[in-house]
Amino acid sequence: MKLHQNLALGIVSCLNDILKQKKALRPSLNQLLKHNRKWGSRDRRLVGESVLEIIRWKRLFTEIGKLNPKSNQYYWNLLGIWMLKKKIPLQDWEYFSEIKTESIEFEFNRKSKARAILQSIPDWLDDLGLKTLGKTVWEKEIENLNNKAPLVLRVNTFKTSPEKLQNILKKKYDIESSRIPEFPAALFLDKHKKLNHLELFKQGWFEIQDANSQKVSYFAAPKPGMLVVDGCAGSGGKTLHLANLMHNKGRIIALDPNKKKLEQLKARIKRNGVRVVTVHDLDSEDIFRKYKENTDLVLIDVPCSGLGVLRRNPAAKWHMNPSYIEELIRLQQLILKKQSLLVKRGGALVYSTCSIFSNENENQIQKFLKSSVGKSFRLEKEKTLLTHNSMGDGFYMARLIRD
């Protein structure tokens, strides 16, 4: 195997965007691939794999290669370590001049290295994991968070059934998948495949959605005919699932401050054949006046650290830090208090994050329940899903009832 220079330049440019400029991982990678349409499928897979693995194992690769993170060649050096690990020969390029192959230790004594180095995470994250989950659970969880995430589909029951989609994927595209009773609308693919070019996807037969993310909508327990607010809808994965569970009966108001994501949601609504969703800017105070204490169910999948989905987005551990998480915690409380005002008596407020740490989860709910706004709510149930003992990403969810 050989890595051509134009691919290497693209990889290093993408690493710079994500690690130095702190741009989002998936959009940065998609932008790179979009600008290089002439790359073949094999090259595109190689670029995607290298970017994800280098970001995931940045700290470990730095230790293995005795690299200097302050070097101007740091991202080239990381690429070089990845290539050597994959047994891809280094080209005689000046970019790799700092790499000393004789000092690289792929097989060092693991017992002599700290867990944070071996699992390639910041020290503060290791401390948080130990404090929150304890040594035994944290070691299992962080090891799993460094694994590759499975590819999971959520079948759009307005268009087809899981059985029918599974059979068509196998017969027409030779794509193998499995079903698990715990996830009624999910197909677990045996291998990662590009799917958004398939006509079935374009016709809205399925969406790509993590298994535990799907659990949030079941946990929310919407019913046909309800008035529902998805208060942090984003591009709408859970919004669309709620519509499925409501059988396209009732009304869902999807709110988000990001106009680009709302445009994506509008396109997905049309593709999925959803009729009950209306999309609004989160800053629209008319919504909060009109539907105050009038909503059956409010779901808020709040902005969070994303530290439960490191399998899919390893960049989160390098983008986050304790002070930024404190800012998020303050924002989460503001969202909880504001959106809870929409819930009618007897209605439900569902709070969820893709974090596994109590400072964004249980602690937030307890703080809210003690607040002047939260005193009219009671906690019905809550659940934390960890990657090492479930079929999906790390999530937390709590369901509160307004008395």
Tens-place pLDDT, residues 117-133: 999 999 999 999 999 99
Residue with tokens 């029918």: 164
- What count of other Cβ atoms lies within 10 Å of the Cβ of residue 366? 13
What is the phi/psi pair of residue 210, to 5°? -55, 150
**Do residues 155 and 206 touch, judged by C-beta distance below 8 A?**
yes
Domain with CATH 3.30.70.1170 in the chain: 152-208
CB of 324 closer than 8 Å to CB of 307: no
Helices (H), 291-349: 316-319, 322-340
Determine the 3-state secondary structure of 141 from DSSP: helix
Quick one: pLDDT at residue 159? 97
Tell whether the model's pLDDT for residue 195 goes beyond 70.
yes
pLDDT in tens, 237-274: 999 999 999 999 999 999 999 999 999 999 999 999 99
For the ranges 14-23, 104-113, 150-159, the lowest mean pLDDT is seen at: 104-113
Q: Which residue has the tokens 């790499």?
A: 99
What is the C-alpha separation between 270 and 291, in angstroms, rounded?
25
Domain 152-208 has CATH 3.30.70.1170: yes
The residues, any chain, with a CB within 8 Å of residue 264's CB and separated by 6 or more, are: 235, 236
Q: Is residue 371 helix, strand or coil?
A: coil
Active site residues: 354
Domain with CATH 3.40.50.150 in the chain: 211-402
| Prediction pTM value | 0.95
CATH of 211-402, one of 3.40.50.300, 3.10.129.10, 3.30.465.10, 3.40.50.150: 3.40.50.150
Give tens-digit pLDDT for 264-300: 999 999 999 999 999 999 888 899 999 999 999 999 9
Mean pLDDT taken over the chain: 96
State the pLDDT at residue 225.
Answer: 98
Percent helix / strand / coil, the chain, rounded to 5: 50, 15, 35
Mean pLDDT of 181-201: 94
Confidence of residue 116 (pLDDT cuts 50, 70, 90): very high
Predicted confidence (pLDDT) at residue 137 exceeds the cutoff of 90: yes
Give me the mean pLDDT over the 63-69 stretch. 94
What's the token pair of residue 302? 């709040």
Tell me whether residue 191 is exposed, middle or buried, using C-beta atoms within 10 angstroms of its C-beta: 0 to 12, 13 to 18, 19 or more.
exposed
Per residue in 333-391, pLDDT (tens digit) is 999 999 999 999 999 999 999 999 999 999 999 999 999 999 999 999 999 999 999 99
**Length of the chain counted residue by residue:** 403
In this predicted structure, what is the pLDDT of residue 109?
Answer: 67
